[in-house]
Amino acid sequence: MDFISILSIFVLACFVGYFVVWSVTPALHTPLMAVTNAISSVIIVGALVAAAAGGSPSAKWLGLAAVVMASVNIFGGFAVTERMLAMYKKKERK
Amino acid sequence: MEHVAVSPWVMLAYLVAGVCFIIALRGLSSPESSRAGNRAGMIGMAIAVITTLVTHDVASLPEIGIAIAIGGAIGFVIAKRIAMTAMPQLVAAFHSLVGLAAVLVGAAAYLNPEAFGIVGATGEILTVSRVEMGLGVAIGAITFSGSVIAFLKLNGNMSGKPIILPARHFINLGTLAAILGLIAYFTQDQDPWVFWTVTGLSFAIGFLLIIPIGGADMPVVVSMLNSYSGWAAAAMGFTLHNTAMIITGALVGASGAILSYIMCRAMNRSFISVIAGGFGGDAAAAGGGTAIDRPWKRGSAEDAAFLMKQAEQVIIVPGYGMAVAQAQHALREMGDLLEAEGVTVKYAIHPVAGRMPGHMNVLLAEASVDYDKVFELEDINSEFARSDVAFVIGANDVTNPAAKTDKTSPIYGMPVLDVEKAKTVLFVKRSMGGVGYAGVDNEVFYRDNTMMLLADAKKMVEDIVKSMG
């Protein structure tokens, strides 16, 4: 992909982000931060590429370390979001 | 070696992952749709990871499996055990990991550019990739060191007081200029010293940027670092030409930026002044001072219970002090008892009531308060005038009418909850001496319609519950 197509995707995604985030109810801003944390760990894709490739052992180990960190975030982020969202209830109590 | 031709199916898979992440955020527009949204996020992540693994020659699958298992187990255990009051620290810690992961990926791409397909015909790293890599590593490093400081401040390992270095603006701007200059130079010379100096300086600037920011401004800082972690992921997405990373990075970047803006607006502070730092340590001692000299009324738990039982509508205004005292469960019990008496109970939340955006809502949700009884400032402020009792617990600055009238007050212009318009204000506070973050006295304490309930928040609410029984 050339730079301009990537930049186009980026700019349009910024606008999508802007509108989607303003529509998030303020009551869910903490889960929003937790889940954005989890999804920004999609950086694991880069970590996996580095960890999978042969050629440079140091790059591989850096990649593996990044895989561990991103995994903490992915599992931790989604799980804690799930835990918080499960607490939001209305009128069903008792 | 030019860019490896990627199958359109692979690009499509990453695009689907990106769309799943958009759906995840969209789900948060209401609590009903939020859990389905979160699942969409998980599916998106699974698609991204699996696509990456099946489209690369993986020479080290067992190691990768172990790495994911270790990280996943740590993350999972932390997520299950963390107290909801500690959510801001947890989020800061998670941000630091995203930042560090971005730095590591950037370093790996620098050391093994062939694996990332960013090597030009001459055997050197492509110029545009060098810029993207440099920016990604710089933002990642700033996110990491900044988040570590934010974590230490929020977790209480480090004082919330601003640490002011002499000539800090000069040092910070100089360092930033050096980083940008070196990234520009990196396009001409891909020598290791350039790359590692950029990395090192970026770690330093993240640290320097956050230490002068006081505890009161931490909600803005956490949101800002959220934004940075997104931009770091986006920059890495540019390096890797990966749509899932670019879309996600843009979403997260936008999200953090909007949350920072909302927090700044709620405190009537400009983003620049927050970044410049120096405002609001923990329980600032400055200002006010004349707290004890003026007449005020003290009430008992019995008085409070009697007043609220007679009321038609009670609005509860919780602040961070309530969470610190762990009074939310007792508070919900009090609300239940009042409702059993036919009283309408509502909760009013100021955007900066907790330590991060939406924090108070989570704490109330944890105590099983129905979310449709919980209202944001702009939705409930007109209702105080029609309410019999405003029950303020653990909040202070966010109820201070000086913000509306006193131009000399440090909090002038900040949107506040109009608690003084209720027929009676019950103000739960530990003692008359202490003041809020902003270090200003609160006019509400001395009004004729205010009754001060001086005790630990949890103890007071429990006593009120007993008196109601």
Interface predicted TM-score of the whole assembly (ipTM), two decimals: 0.94
Q: pTM for this one?
A: 0.89
Q: Is residue B320 part of a domain?
A: yes
pLDDT confidence of residue B364: 93
Please list, in sequence order, all residues whose beta carbon lies within 8 angstroms of the beta carbon of residue B420, skipping any fewer than 6 positions away: B384, B390, B399, B401, B443, B444, B447, B449, B450
Residues B139, B176, single domain; the answer is yes
pLDDT confidence of residue A54: 80
Residues B325, B222, single domain; the answer is no
Cβ contact (<8 Å) for A64 and B26? no
Average pLDDT of span A25-51: 94
In angstroms, the CA B321 to CA B395 distance is 6
Decide which of B380 and B406 is more confident: B380
Q: Confidence band (pLDDT; 50, 70, 90) for B8?
A: confident
Identify which of B25, B67, B95 has the shortest CB distance to residue A68: B67
pLDDT in tens, B20-32: 999 999 999 999 9
Residues B408, B450, single domain; the answer is yes
Pick from B252, B284, B316: which residue ends a domain? B284
Q: Is residue B290 part of a domain?
A: no
Residues B22, B121, single domain; the answer is no
Nearest CA of chain A to the CA of B166: how many Å? 34
Q: Is residue B294 part of a domain?
A: no
Given B217, B397, B418, B463, the catalytic residue? B397
Phi, psi of B294 (to 5 degrees): -95, 155
Identify which of A23, A52, A79 has the shortest CB distance to residue B64: A52
Decide which of B430 and A81 is more confident: A81
Pick from B32, B56, B81: which residue ends a domain? B81
Residues B310, B275, single domain; the answer is no
Q: Confidence band (pLDDT; 50, 70, 90) for B2?
A: very low
Average pLDDT of span B199-207: 94
pLDDT in tens, B35-78: 999 999 999 999 999 999 998 888 788 999 999 999 999 999 99
Cβ contact (<8 Å) for A29 and B79? no
Pick from B284, B312, B337: which residue ends a domain? B284
Residues B51, B183, single domain; the answer is no
Q: Confidence band (pLDDT; 50, 70, 90) for B289?
A: very low
Decide which of B439 and B94 is more confident: B94
pLDDT confidence of residue B217: 83
Residues B187, B261, single domain; the answer is yes
**Residue B63 is encoded by which pair of tokens?**
């190691």
Give the CATH number for residue B369.
3.40.50.1220
In angstroms, the CA B103 to CA B415 distance is 39
pLDDT in tens, B427-450: 998 877 666 666 677 888 888 899
A57 Cβ under 8 Å from any chain B Cβ: no
Residues B164, B243, single domain; the answer is yes
* Paired residues of B345 in beta bridges: B314
**Residue B467 is encoded by which pair of tokens?**
């008196």
Residues B27, B139, single domain; the answer is no
Q: Is residue B295 part of a domain?
A: no
Amino acid identity of B407? K
Domain span at residue B375 reads 301-468
Residues B379, B237, single domain; the answer is no
| Number of folded domains that form chain B | 3
**Residue B358 is encoded by which pair of tokens?**
């939406």
Q: Is residue B199 part of a domain?
A: yes
Residues B238, B308, single domain; the answer is no
